Amino acid sequence: MCNLYSLTKGQAAIIAFARATRDTTGNLPVMPGIFPDYRAPIVRNAPDGARELSLARWGMPSSHAALFAATKTRAAKLEAKGKQVDFKELLRMEPDSGTTNIRNTSSKHWKRWLGIENRCVVPFTSFSEFNKAEGGDIWFALDESRPLAVFAGLWTNWTSVRKVKEGETTNDLFAFLTTDPNDVVGPIHPKAMPVILTEPEEIETWLTAPAEEALKLQRPLSDGILTIVARGKKEDGDE
């Protein structure tokens, strides 16, 4: 599971690469370490039809089943302390920091967001997979210069409790798809790797094609593509 990535290229490069027509991010800083629930740039099909570079929090809404199970556990603990529980209200306020990686796109939970209006791409320059035996965070990029690429992602606007101290908030959220690893990532993380798009034509397909065609892009990069560029660090950049 990829829960850490970096973005060290500027707005102009992202806009050109993804052919965005509008930028709402303001002054976008270099981001050598992007973690779950952080705000990060995405290029999305905005509600008015523009292709927009914008910011969203990393982590799509978790499934009802996952939240229901977490709420049952919390309710049982409260009841064990003799407290009365309004389960429906407890479920509504169950904290959900989100799901960062999406694998099963045939799931009913994810199908609702597979339309063009909810697809996005997530710019990155390197990403990490954790492997303690290999040194901790292992960083992958297309090459040592860490050129710009994007993950194939989904986004939505959602009202929920992300953190207890925040209470209920409404946010733009995103996550990206995963697939089987290629021969570079597999020895470090045999379960999965992000779905990576490296060509403008792939970005066009992901953002504009019917879902059945777009989902053909949910495949690993060819073997031999990607290289390990750093080990054991929580941040990565082109040095």
pLDDT in tens, 131-148: 999 999 999 999 999 999
Q: What's this model's pTM, rounded to 2 decimal places?
A: 0.91
* Whole-number Å distance between alpha carbons of 201 and 157: 27
pLDDT by residue (tens digit) across 91-117?
777 778 899 999 999 999 999 999 999
Residue range 5-61+100-231 in CATH 3.90.1680.10: yes
How does DSSP classify residue 138?
Answer: E
Residues linked to residue 17 through DSSP beta bridges, in sequence order: none
pLDDT of residue 238: 57
For residue 50, report the phi and psi dihedrals to the nearest 5 degrees: -75, 150
Q: What is the pLDDT of residues 1-13, one digit of tens each?
A: 799 999 999 999 9
The identity of residue 91, as a single letter, is L
Average pLDDT over residues 22-45: 96
Which has the closest alpha carbon to 159: 72, 88, 98?
A: 98
Question: pLDDT tens, 187-202?
Answer: 999 999 999 999 999 9
* Strand, coil or helix: 54: strand
Q: Which residues, other chains included, contact 116 with Cβ-Cβ below 8 Å and sequence gap of 6+?
A: 45, 207, 208
- Is the Cβ–Cβ distance between 79 and 157 less than 8 Å? no
- Provide Rg for the chain, Cα atoms: 19
Q: Where are the beta strands (DSSP E) in the chain?
A: 5-7, 22-23, 31-34, 39-45, 51-58, 101-102, 119-124, 126-131, 136-141, 149-161, 168-179, 193-194, 196-197, 227-231
Cα 204 from chain centre: 19
Residue pair 224/181 in contact (Cβ under 8 Å)? The answer is no
Domain boundaries, given as residue ranges, for the chain:
5-61+100-231, 63-95
| Mean pLDDT score of the chain | 93
